[in-house]
DNA sequence: TAATACTGAAACGATTCAGTAACAATACTG
DNA sequence: CAGTATTGTTACTGAATCGTTTCAGTATTA
């Protein structure tokens, strides 16, 4: 199983390095280009690129056309980086048909999830990467502990549940955004990198599965509350 | 929250079905017309259409004029489908002022993004979803607390009522505009994004429902006062 | 005071939303 | 590869919310 090759086209060194380190931490192989010309060069020399992630403002007309061709003729995924939302129109206007757009500033974890999904769709490759966390710190709330390393939930009595990935991510997201209402769209994105479509009950089902863990201790208060018409909200007392 | 109604005017069955399935996946309500006549018919029967997407070659002169009228007099967005780029000139020549046009073959994802943006601009309703609250701060008045995060009202004894969305919005609006008389029109707009029509008692009913919460503590003073012939006024002492 | 306009209230109906189980598909593991 | 774990989908049910209607009661005004 070969790792994916990602080409970053971005002139800002800071951004490029950040992207690079994120991707390398995920085990991808990273190539870099400063502008459209370099991009062309690199593509010529490397036939095995799986994904290009490029700043929308950079590569010039030729670069964009090249990207479009690559996307259509070969099996290369294409993601644009944009500075602000209004630039999304710009992308649409170009009619290039990117696979995804990401607005700066971006969240590394979200980015990696999206990329992984995209690559799984594009390549048959089954890469599974654990996530990289800077601060590995466990969270405690209402007597429960969320253990980051082992991705598990420990009840007040010490019973341990290994959490599936999406349940874990949902809880983590809740805890890292305490008190705020989280929409289904937001939760689904954090859990799977997907976008919410109508009639998708995935989030509800996952919430249900999470709640079941807490039921193991019946006296437990309502940890995840439903906000009708809006989403869910974590009500635990985080220590 | 009502979903948007989209009318597709297109004779090619394949294209129409494709559009339909794309929109329905997004949760929109889809109506279909084969030609200009059917379009006219359907518009007559449905007063609540938010967006029309039509093939530029179809509806004949009358259909186009009708579309133009709708766009100008009512608040209906209009998108044209064109076969080839050169037809774009045609649209411009017609001086109808479409909100957008899309050339076939189109990219579903691009289409949904454009539509979403357009509807957000057209329907005031959607403004409320976007509303971002920076300062999440709770409000207190006469011993009661309005908790923003959880969208709930806490009585002086600590009893907690989860508020429905429109009750919550009404109270929030009162508190953020203390002392001022709020007309029914204003309140309805804040609650639901709708405009007040004659004989609409929705606001009265909602106020009643809000007052019921306060009744749970009988000694409470009148928190929301009726201003005969004008509207309502919040009389709580905000801390 | 009588006529009129306005509001309160209850009850109902419609619609949208959330919870859940059961199943299907997919990914992961040994 | 087979078996298991996880994730996603569907369909159904009940609940929550919202809006309408109707009518009785209250305030306002001529």
* Distance measured from the CA of protein residue B236 to the C1' of nucleotide C1, in angstroms: 37
Nearest CA in chain A to B109: A97
* pLDDT tens per residue across span B124-158: 443 433 344 555 579 999 999 999 999 999 999 99
* pLDDT tens per residue across span A98-111: 666 677 767 777 77
Dihedral of the CA atoms A122, A128, A131, A136 (nearest 10)? 180
Specify the higher pLDDT residue, A205 or B106.
A205
Q: What is the average per-residue pLDDT within B213-233?
A: 89
What pLDDT band is residue A93 in, cutting at 50, 70 and 90? very low
* pLDDT tens per residue across span A147-173: 998 899 999 999 999 999 999 999 999
**In whole angstroms, what is the distance from residue A11 CA to residue A16 CA?**
7
Predicted pLDDT at A125: 34
Nearest to B25 among A97, A197, A227 (CB): A197
Predicted pLDDT at A186: 92
Q: Interface of chain B against chain A, CB under 8 Å?
A: 1, 24-28, 103, 107, 109-110, 113-114, 117, 136, 149-151, 162, 164-165
Specify the higher pLDDT residue, A162 or B108.
A162
What pLDDT band is residue B22 in, cutting at 50, 70 and 90? confident
Nearest CA in chain B to A93: B110
* Domains of chain A by start residue, with CATH: 5-124 (3.40.50.2300), 136-234 (1.10.10.10)
Q: Considering only CB atoms, which chain B residues are within 8 Å of A200?
A: none
The CA-based angle A185-A191-A192, given to 5 degrees, is 90
**In whole angstroms, what is the distance from residue A61 CA to residue B85 CA?**
19
Q: Is the pTM of this model over 0.85?
A: no
Residues in a beta bridge with B82: B103
Nearest to A104 by CA among A216, A225, A12: A12
CB-based contacts with strand C under 7 Å? A 120, 126, 128, 184, 201, 204-205, 207-208, 211, 226-231; B 1-3, 201, 204-205, 207-208, 211, 226-231
Q: What is the average per-residue pLDDT within B188-197?
A: 88
Nearest to B6 by CA among B151, B142, B123, B92: B123
* Distance measured from the CA of protein residue B51 to the C1' of nucleotide C10, in angstroms: 38
Nucleic acid strand C: bases within 7 A of protein CB: 5-11, 15-22, 27-29
Count of beta carbons in the 10 Å neighbourhood of residue B76: 20
């Amino acid at each position: 199983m070969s790792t994916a090759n990602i080409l970053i086209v971005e002139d800002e060194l800071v951004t490029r390095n950040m992207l690079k380190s994120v991707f390398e931490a995920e085990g991808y192989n990273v190539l870099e280009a400063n502008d459209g010309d370099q991009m062309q060069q690199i593509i010529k020399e490397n036939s095995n690129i799986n994904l290009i992630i490029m700043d929308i403002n950079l590569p010039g007309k030729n670069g964009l056309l090249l990207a479009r061709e690559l996307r259509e003729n070969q099996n290369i995924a294409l993601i644009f980086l944009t500075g602000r939302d209004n630039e999304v129109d710009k992308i649409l206007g170009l009619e290039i048909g990117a696979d995804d757009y990401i607005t700066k500033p971006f969240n590394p974890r979200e980015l990696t999830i999206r990329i992984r999904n995209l690559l799984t769709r594009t390549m048959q490759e089954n890469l599974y990467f654990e996530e990289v966390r800077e601060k590995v710190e466990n969270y405690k709330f209402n007597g429960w502990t969320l253990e980051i390393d082992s991705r598990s939930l420990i009840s007040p009595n010490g019973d341990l549940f290994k959490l599936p990935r999406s349940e874990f991510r949902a809880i983590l997201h809740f805890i890292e955004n305490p008190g705020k209402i989280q929409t289904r769209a937001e939760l689904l994105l954090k859990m799977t990198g997907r976008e919410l479509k109508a009639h998708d009950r995935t989030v509800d089902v996952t919430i249900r599965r999470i709640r079941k863990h807490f039921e193991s201790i019946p006296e437990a208060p309502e940890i995840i509350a439903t906000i009708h018409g809006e989403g869910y909200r974590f009500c635990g007392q985080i220590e």
